[in-house]
Homo-oligomer: A and B are copies of this chain.
Amino acid sequence: MSFVTVRDVWKSYDGRPILERVNVDVEEGEFISIVGASGCGKSTFLRLLLADELPSRGAIRIEQGHRAMEPNQERGVVFQRYSVFPHMTVRDNIVAAESFGTRSGWFFGKRLRGARERADETLARIGLSHVADNYPATLSGGMQQRLAIGQALTAQPRILLLDEPFGALDPGTRLAMHDFLTELRARTKMTVFMVTHDLTEGFKLGDRVLVFDKPRWDPHDPGAYGATITYDFDARDEGIPFQTIKEKTHVPVSA
């Protein structure tokens, strides 16, 4: 059986369909890039995977488990912005990834010291040791995203969700982050879903690239139908894709 199973998922907001008939199976350790036009529902799909929103119809399961009703430690996430806590130092942001799961949310004494040491190791690994006591606002965008990823991974999620994590970075920093992510993956073998606007980035990092688009559309009412996965590329072969067309796109629906 596959690791993540998405079965006939529909999602509408206020009766307006955004996603329809989404089906996909993902193996453990796969890196899935998700691309598609702006506003087509990529972030929505990620929120469904995160269980921050529930599908209007259909189900998403990890290892055939229960359907999650809300975000939990199984699913880590990094957004384009606001992914770290601005009121905690860089080190405390990492410690929080351990301590938030406890009843009070605080560590004390020996446990705190232990967590701090582990946090410092993590920071060394992601190259942020020199700013451990700084607040995130003083970090560059790239450093903040590295911190966010380090924090998400500290909680040891089963899948990691990235929503345009490098969208706000300049091209140079972006390339550095690609290397950082590739290196991390080589070490952890995490299952990752990453939404990106940048097709090159998607193919470069992903094992598979899912394209979201509206297969059906009504010329008189562009909002009448939702998007689904129209292509599912295998990108493992150094970015030279062989493609699986899943749906014919832009079939006009006679009104």
**Chain A residues at the B interface, C-beta cutoff of 8 Å:** 38, 140, 167, 170-172, 197-199
C-alpha spacing A172/B167, complex, angstroms: 13
User: A170 — which chain B residues lie within 8 A by C-beta?
Assistant: 38, 167, 197-198
CB closest chain-B residue, reference A37: B172
C-alpha spacing A34/B227, complex, angstroms: 41
User: A198 — which chain B residues lie within 8 A by C-beta?
Assistant: 170-171
C-alpha spacing A140/B38, complex, angstroms: 10
User: A171 — which chain B residues lie within 8 A by C-beta?
Assistant: 197-199
CB distance from A170 to the nearest CB of B (A): 4
Interchain residue pairs with CB less than 8 A apart (9): A38-B140, A38-B170, A167-B170, A170-B197, A170-B198, A171-B197, A171-B198, A171-B199, A172-B197
When A and B form their complex, which 8 residue pairs have the shortest distance between CB atoms, in order from nearest? A170-B197, A171-B198, A171-B197, A38-B170, A38-B140, A170-B198, A172-B197, A171-B199
C-alpha spacing A198/B171, complex, angstroms: 7
CB distance from A166 to the nearest CB of B (A): 12
C-alpha spacing A171/B200, complex, angstroms: 10
CB closest chain-B residue, reference A167: B170
C-alpha spacing A44/B140, complex, angstroms: 19
CB closest chain-B residue, reference A39: B140
CB closest chain-B residue, reference A199: B171
User: A197 — which chain B residues lie within 8 A by C-beta?
Assistant: 170-172
CB closest chain-B residue, reference A201: B171
CB closest chain-B residue, reference A169: B197
User: A140 — which chain B residues lie within 8 A by C-beta?
Assistant: 38
C-alpha spacing A38/B141, complex, angstroms: 11
C-alpha spacing A170/B198, complex, angstroms: 8
CB closest chain-B residue, reference A168: B168
CB closest chain-B residue, reference A200: B171
CB closest chain-B residue, reference A198: B171
User: A167 — which chain B residues lie within 8 A by C-beta?
Assistant: 170
CB distance from A14 to the nearest CB of B (A): 19
C-alpha spacing A171/B171, complex, angstroms: 11
